[in-house]
Structure 1
Amino acid sequence: MEKKDLKIVFFGTPDFAVESLKRLVEGGYNVVGVVTMPDKPAGRGHHLLQSDVKKYAVENGLHLMQPVKLKDEEFVNELR
């Protein structure tokens, strides 16, 4: 089986997860989606804070999903 034959959906939010995602992408694996937590308000101005995983996914044109709940029917259908 070739790397491109696999369809990988990556789940991660913490900054250290970016390195794993990066290695998959740079390694030629077929990353068909990235799932990370929704943006959260942070700081005094409650500006939305994006996870590092989201930033990497957007910068690299990966399909991004940010479900509020993993059991959400719409999200589950999107994974299929």
Structure 2
Amino acid sequence: SVRDPLYVLPVLNGISMFVLQSLQPAPPDPTQAKVMKVMPVMFSFFFVFFPAGLVLYWTVNSVLSIAQQWVITRRIIAE
């Protein structure tokens, strides 16, 4: 229930969300693409005020999603 005093987790979360979004295909709508690029920055700002446990959970989830997307992309390219 205590937020991260060093702000490491919100920064790591923003980086992991940005990497995850760069691995996914771009949305066809240009407005939606702009919103998707701003979301990691917005979430990083919001996560400064959230409990560290929640931010850690979200960051680990993003890192695992990056690994999952990477494996799926590698398998598609191999076929």
TM-score range normalised by the length of the shorter chain = under 0.3
Q: With CA pairs under 8 Å and 6+ residues apart, which has the higher RCO, 1 or 2?
A: 2
TM-score, normalised to structure 1, is 0.27
Name whichever structure is richer in strand by fraction: 1
TM-score, normalised to structure 2, is 0.27
Name whichever structure is richer in helix by fraction: 2
